[in-house]
Amino acid sequence: MEIILLQKISKLGNIGDTVQVKQGFGRNFLIPSGKALRATKENKDFFQKTKEKLLEENKEAIEKAEKIRAEVENLKLVIVRSASDTGLLYGSVTTRDISNLINEQGITLNKKQIALERPIKDLGVYDMRIILHPEVDSKIELKVVRSLGDKTFENQDDSNVSNVSDEDSTELNESLLEEGVSLTRGETNSEKPEQEMPGENPSPEQTETK
């Protein structure tokens, strides 16, 4: 199936390119979503008439996405989840959870803009790709930490949890990942009291007997 791209599509082409795709991909996704047109004579003529407008709109969209990228890259996100001693979450963190957390910071993203191959099911630090525009993407760091059941911590302002500094996040990880994840605390070289060995330093009675 031959189509005309109305926006850049990864691994396919740029705006205005005429490319061949599988019929299902073209008819069920690209064309209904407004990303492409069938490459008929009428549509080719239509594209030529609207090409300048499409390119200008795309340029404006890129500039807007670049501004959002600067904001996104300043975010330091933390999601608190209950987990087992081995770090396995009781549940999972999904793209919906992540988009909701980002939206709470005043940046509007939908879950489809978050490139996550599968839900997160373990404690840890994750780098994920954020698609802001077909030609603009970004990376964001998400920390998934253990809930200690501390009501004060769980109910504190979300912005404080999501925008901790590097130093604060280190302290947070040390306390929240205690007992069994990537950071472990404990006395590893505690000194044992010396035990007196029998036969050493005999008592006066033993000396007199001898």
Domain regions of the chain by residue span: 2-65, 77-176
pLDDT at position 26 is: 93
Contact (Cβ atoms closer than 8 angstroms) between residue 101 and residue 77 = yes
Residue 18 tokens, joined:
């005429």
Would you say residue 114 has pLDDT above 90? Answer: yes
Residues in the chain: 210
Residue 129 tokens, joined:
């790709």
Block residue for tokens 């191959």 = 117
Q: Please determine, looking at this structure, whether the domain spanning 2-65 carries the CATH number 3.40.5.10.
A: yes
Give pLDDT tens digits for 26-37. Answer: 999 999 999 999
Percent of residues, the chain, with pLDDT higher than 90: 52
Pick among 3.40.50.1000, 3.10.430.100, 3.30.460.20, 3.40.47.10: CATH of 77-176? 3.10.430.100
Give pLDDT tens digits for 62-79. Answer: 999 999 998 998 888 999
Predicted TM-score of the model (pTM)? 0.59
Would you say residue 122 has pLDDT above 90? Answer: yes
Higher pLDDT, 191 or 49: 49
Q: Which pLDDT band holds residue 147 (cuts at 50, 70, 90)?
A: low
The DSSP bridge pattern shows strands 77-81 and 136-146 to be: parallel
The DSSP bridge pattern shows strands 88-93 and 120-122 to be: antiparallel
Percent of residues, the chain, with pLDDT higher than 70: 70
Tell me the residue type at 69.
R
pLDDT at position 18 is: 94
